[in-house]
Structure 1
Amino acid sequence: MQDLATKHTEVSLKAFGVMLTKAAVLWSKTFQVLRRKLNQNNQFKDEDTNGVYVPNPDDYPTFPPLPPRDFFQDPIKQFDKVAARKFGAPQGEYEDKPLYALYRFYEFVALDSVTNYRNCLEAFWRKKTWPVHEIPDPQDPDPERYAFLAGCTYLIVRAFNARVTLGLDRQMPALLIPEEAEMLRNRPDHLRTYERVPEWAEKAHPLKELLVVPTHEGGVLAGKEDKRADHDFLDKGILLWTPHISFT
């Protein structure tokens, strides 16, 4: 009889312990929600007493952005500015466009921010109605930035065509059953949709003075003969460490 009472007590204590654990988890989740809500309220309070978002120029990209050399002067400061933005298009624009995406990609390549320029590539890939060759001519007045933009289109094409070679397609759905994936891999090469660079990028003149692009750590390549240099950028007069453009 005593053993039965002891077991009953142990079961009750375990049940009580489980109840306390669940209560603690619930309180923790509630506290996190309340804290996030409080932070949001404080953020809006700083911007507008009525809780309405007030546009801040720092939340939007400038168009066109800085020339390449300006990014090299203080890359940490410039990256912080780019990363702090809330929107991808200039203030007053409510629809993303291929040219805006190209300029965003340019900024992250110039800053050698690998994760971010890969994310830009993936986002562009998913824009099924944005063929690379149809990216409009930016007619950028800055020769170095214009040449850099042209080089960026070559990077996009190379990244996309590497995926096409594997059997992937920008028009395919996000999820594929194994049979569909196998069919795409076995598709004849002439039926695959390969990308190509815009005509304006092909015609973009190389820079007269070599533009040397440092890495995010401040390193630079030895010269044009360095095997690590990106050949498409070299054709535009830019010495750039070949970016890691593969993305999943």
Structure 2
Amino acid sequence: MPCLPAIRAVCQNLNCLSSSGQMHDAPEVAWLLALRHERQGKPALTKGKNPVASLYRMYEYLVVGYTAGLRSEMEYFFKQSTWSVKAIPDPEDTDPARYAILAVLTHYLAKVFNRLIERGLPRGCPAIIAGAEAEAELRAREVVLELQPSWAKAVRRLDEPITIPNSSGDTPEDRFRSAEFLAMNIIVTEPHVAFV
């Protein structure tokens, strides 16, 4: 394709191409925070039907404070039974804040998925479980818990803190802050991600 090099050059200037050559169209944290109220309740700007695109949509929803969008996207990911959390490719994002948020989100994916799996709802189970036979089949399945991808554990903590305001637009109180995000120098309210 003769125009692909030109597209890559434009994308590098707009910071939507990772060093691995993987394209993404997720906006920067500062831009999302500046347009937070306008973006709440709206679909994420990131498009695509793959694990990395889904993770970027979660990032957008978290930063703008759109909890319903975040939970819906996590539920969408859960229903893609071939998408293992551990196998999410490294986005190699060049924006340190965005990369740190993506890394922590994989922790929450594993946490919320394992909560369901441990309760007997494995990934790929039908939406409606009718009858004793269907329940017995689910109980007989091997329990396979999700894990964070190795790249997520290697992402560096941010040098400078960033704050994602709570729903009132204020800095979250200490008691409501996410310990996982705080470990990456990101101040944000513990996300409400359980969707069942």
TM over 0.5, yes or no? yes
Q: Verify: 1:83 aligned to 2:43, yes or no.
A: yes
User: What's the TM-score, normalizing by structure 1?
Assistant: 0.64
Partners of 1:203 and 1:134 in 2: how far apart?
15
> Which of 165, 171, 188 is the aligned partner of 2:118?
165
State the partner residue of 2:193.
Answer: 245
Q: Verify: 1:202 aligned to 2:153, yes or no.
A: yes
State the partner residue of 2:4.
Answer: none
Structure with greater contact order relative to length (CA < 8 Å, sep ≥ 6): 2
Aligned pairs (5 A) from 1:8-87: 63-79=24-40, 82-83=42-43
Change (3 A) 1:84 1:142: closer
Change (3 A) 1:84 1:214: closer
State the partner residue of 1:118.
Answer: 71
Secondary structure of 1:133's counterpart equals coil
Number of equivalenced pairs:
174
Change (3 A) 1:184 1:153: farther
Secondary structure of 2:94's counterpart equals coil
> Which of 44, 59, 77 is the aligned partner of 1:106?
59
Give the Å deviation of 1:76.
2.0
RMSD of aligned alpha carbons: 2.3
In 2, are the aligned partners of 1:125 and 1:160 still within 8 Å (CA)? yes
Give the Å deviation of 1:78.
3.5
Quick one: percent identity of the two aligned structures? 29
Secondary structure of 1:227's counterpart equals helix
Runs of 5+ unmatched residues, structure 2: 1-15, 17-23
In 2, are the aligned partners of 1:147 and 1:236 still within 8 Å (CA)? yes
State the partner residue of 2:170.
Answer: 219
Runs of 5+ unmatched residues, structure 1: 1-61, 90-95
> Which of 152, 159, 174 is the aligned partner of 2:105?
152
User: What's the TM-score, normalizing by structure 2?
Assistant: 0.79
State the partner residue of 2:184.
Answer: 236
Return the index of the structure with the highest Cα Rg. Answer: 1
Report Cα offsets for 1:71-110 as digits up to 9, x if no partner.
1122123347x5386x832xxxxxx111001101110011
Partners of 1:84 and 1:234 in 2: how far apart?
24
In 1, are the aligned partners of 2:106 and 2:152 still within 8 Å (CA)? yes
Change (3 A) 1:122 1:194: same
